A and B are shown apart, each in its own frame.
Chain A
Amino acid sequence: MPRFPGLIHCLATVSVALGMSAPTMAADFPSKPVNIVVPFNAGGSHDLLMRAFAPAFAKALDGNVIVSNMAGGSGTVAASTLAHDTPDGYKLGYWSVTVSTIQPQIKDLPYGEDSWTPICSVAASPTLLFVNAKSPFHTIDEAVAAIKAQPGRYIYGSSGPGTITQLASVAAFSGLGVLKDVRHLPFQGSGPALQGMAAGTIQFYGDTELLMQGGDFRPLLTFSDTRLADLPDVPTAREAGIEPPLDQLYLWGGLFAPAGLAADKRDALSKACGAAVASPELQAFAERTRTVLHYRDAAAFDAFYRAQYSANAKLIDAAGL
């Protein structure tokens, strides 16, 4: 029996922390609480999703999970901080498509495509391009014809520069060849933008189905691979003549660890994530909040994330960001 069990335990912890212990056993993982960092304020949609996700995730991991918030800089403050953290599997970030693939390509940030070990995707809502219900445009063709007839007259809005809402409109108008004929008006968040839409200041806006249903709006096209169940008459972007990769745009989010996470830990986390997404609790939450859950395991999410990174590079280029 060792005389200094505390000391040995302490040394063992230090050596693990320094990365000196050779094989970390996944069976021991997690031995302390896993922290999920939400890069936005408490009370936002990402925060609420993760707080509903955490208990199911903890159960599947057979450990404790805590959710913390670190807001600022459109989510980049948290991502920049976590990117240089130790990849021990105890600190994960819930990054959206914007935080992980768009912001690092438009700002000078201390993280990029290779800063992460993708764990799993949790949610993915397709985006739509829509107009006011009182708008004269009933189809995307009518809108394009009007834009061509009066270049520079029409304005599309966004919830801010470099957001998914801007890229949705950019994907549509760039894919249809009229991007230079429309103007962009950013707002501070989607609330003011929707008000601008209702007031007629802007004529086009792109966002998820949930947001669109909050107002009196008419969808023109959807950026998904198939038509949406609730909106069977709305054509997909592909049907409207928009070529890949601009024809699909999802507001997705998933868990990331700093790059270099051991494969066994990654797989344990990814498996638990899958179980959490499938859990009745989270399914019920998604039903109530109309969140579109979409699980991908570590390998599939890694491929998806990298494909998105380069596809969004084209969008960012088109947007002139």
Chain B
Amino acid sequence: MSAKAKSILRGIVVAAVVLYIAFLLGPIAGFDVPAIAASIQADPKQLIQFLIIGISNGAIIAIIALGYTMVYGIIELINFAHGDVYMIGVFTSLTVLSLTGTLNTNDPVKIILGLALALVVSIASCAMLNATIERLAYRRLRNAPRLAPLISAIGMSFIIENLGLIWASQSWLVPSFGTTGGASQKFFPDLLGTIFTVNGWKVNLFEYFGIPLRFTIKDLLVIVLAVILMVGLYLFVQRTRLGKAMRATAQNRDAAKMLGIDIDRVISATFLIGGGLAGAAGLMAGLYNNTAWWFMGFRAGLESFTAAVLGGIGNITGAMLGGFLIGLLASFSDGYLNARWTHAWVFATLVLVLLFRPSGLLGEQVGQKA
């Protein structure tokens, strides 16, 4: 038997074992095929509804995942603080909206201007924050053993989380934080909904077309913004001079240096872009889920990092794919399996994918080490 046939045979055996386990133990975790089939049959349009929810959530995850994957691609560091930079993005947007009076107005023009300003400020400050983290906590450790920057990344994550905790208690800055302290979840007003209801428009856009599903202005904004950012980033990395320098640095840092590329500048730029994307994701998530919480970066970071690994770490297209996959998986699991097991299903899928494709769905893109 040839080696290829052997490996195919082994693949089939492993797949059979996995499927056997899934069908045997699956029903405990809600993977009950007849029940799922029955509920799809009873209400087929709900399938599309879960698809919409999954894509919207996936878009936010994908944007954050880009920051993880870019940084990993270039310096092979898991920037654990990245999820928390996204959390700061949510608080920055909320604070800008509060200081400009956008939270207390019904005037659509003012709201749109406020949102635009919040987007710019949030992107700028998160970019600066991320680059500062790199300058303070990672640059000196660039040639240290790999565990050292990893630990300092976790440390930065805790510092920023506590910054969020303090921020959330400053009710003089944002009166709607209330008097219950920084630890509790804060309300991020539904400004898009306000614009629509003030003008008498329908929040659910599908109502105009008579489709009995929910596709709100929030879903539309999140998806459109995400696509713009992703395409923009892709073009930037592929077409610009700095993008080319980034790819060169990722491939081989020393060779890039020899060719005259300023490594420090390129790495700083990577952190700036990653942080800016996290800032944009912060505003998107705030508008979509209407929550600001000091702890929200942890879970978002975990899911986005998983997305990056799923798609192939270092691979920008892979991070987008991974983000959407995780969003869809979570949404379908909530809808058809059992909400209690959603987290487990997401990670079980990650494990399965890594078993068969250890470098992720689209393959890793990291430097070639000597």
A, B assembled together: no
Binding site for B on A (CB under 8 A): none
